[in-house]
Structure 1
Amino acid sequence: MSNPLIDKTDSHMQKSLTALRRELSHIRAGRANVSLLNGINVDCYGTTMPLNQVASISTPEARVLLVSPFDKSTLKDIEKSLLQSDLGINPANDGSVIRLVIPQLTGERRQELAKEVNKIAETAKISIRNIRREAMDEVKKQQKKNEITDDELHDLEKQVQKVTDKNIQQVDTMAAKKSQEITAV
């Protein structure tokens, strides 16, 4: 028997995991990944557009991103947007395409990124714990209104904790995988 409160709680926690996945995809592990350029917007044609709508992005080599504009007149605008972004990579413009060479990560930088991964994972855990607290508060409200018995209260609390533990475990797994990806030489 599934409880709507437990389903809602798990659904909210899954959204936290989705956000964590998105955050972790933006951390570069020394390899070129098209998702590194997600969130970069280009000012062209009198409006702001996502980079992937004005250019195709590919990875011809393991550490190179190739940005090929659909319209060559937007090349300077794309280059300007890449320079202003927080990527920390200088674009190389050859007049028809832009190359972004992902630098090899130093040991020190790998450690910094691993710490950042742990910080992001901790934020996700806090989010999940807040969702658990809200669910527990809701269960206690139901019990105070005599909508559920003491036994049902304890059963629902156990179910909420079980869902929380499962999602926290997924956060730990995702963070460990990303940290291993970063620190692997």
Structure 2
Amino acid sequence: MVKDIIKNADEKMNKTISVFKAELATMKAGRANPTMLDRIQVECYGSMMPLNQLGGVSAPEPRVLLIQPWDKSSIKDIEKAILKSDLGINPTSDGSVIRLIVPELTEETRKNLVKTIKKTGEEAKVAIRSIRRDANEKIKTLKKDTTITEDEAKKAEDNIQKETDKFIKEVDKMIESKEKEIMAV
């Protein structure tokens, strides 16, 4: 029972790390990366669709993204979605492909991006701590119901704290790594 609580908390913390990783991947760092477009939803065929389901996205050059729509009639819809997004990039089209030139990051843009990364990282840490709190409450309930002993509860809480510390360190490393990547470009 205690093992299930710890295992569940571990899985949730892992999921939080995965979500944070995915969010970091979508943040532009002055280099073209197809994952930058993962969050863009295109209104096409009467519904909202992820851009990557409407065409192939590649990065043929360090600062160029190339979108090759499978259906040429969706080019205008894709361009409109990119313009509406928070990317701040103007698409150019030749009728069959869309090119996005990723601009060089200015010093101010880099600093703002680092702030956003740190804020997102802090949100991930808060989520991890929340998972720890929930797990600890479940353990306290088991101890109160005398399902487990005081020692077992203490040991379980220590294990959960170790997991929490491990995941918080991982978030810090990811923030630091992304910050270096952005400031070095």
Instruction: Give the RMSD, CA atoms, in angstroms.
Output: 1.3
Amino acid at match of 2:167: N
Q: Which runs of 5+ in 2 are unaligned?
A: none
CA distance in 2 between partners of 1:69 and 1:23 (Å): 24
Q: Give the aligned partner of residue 175 of structure 2.
A: 175
Q: Give the aligned partner of residue 85 of structure 2.
A: 85
Q: Give the aligned partner of residue 48 of structure 1.
A: 48
**CA deviation profile, 1:111-130 (whole Å, cap 9, x unmatched):** 11111111111000000001
Q: Give the aligned partner of residue 64 of structure 2.
A: 64
CA distance in 2 between partners of 1:152 and 1:107 (Å): 52
Amino acid at match of 2:86: D
Q: Which runs of 5+ in 1 are unaligned?
A: none
Name the SS of the counterpart of 2:103 in structure 1: coil
CA distance in 1 between partners of 2:12 and 2:46 (Å): 38
Percent identity between the aligned chains?
A: 49
Q: Give the aligned partner of residue 22 of structure 2.
A: 22
Name the SS of the counterpart of 1:3 in structure 2: helix
CA distance in 2 between partners of 1:157 and 1:45 (Å): 52
CA drift at 1:48: 2.8
Range with bigger deviation, 40-49 or 133-142: 40-49
Name the SS of the counterpart of 1:23 in structure 2: helix
CA distance in 2 between partners of 1:20 and 1:42 (Å): 23
**CA deviation profile, 1:95-126 (whole Å, cap 9, x unmatched):** 22111000000111111111111111100000
Amino acid at match of 2:72: K
TM-score of the pair, normalised by structure 1: 0.94
Name the SS of the counterpart of 1:160 in structure 2: helix
CA drift at 1:44: 2.5
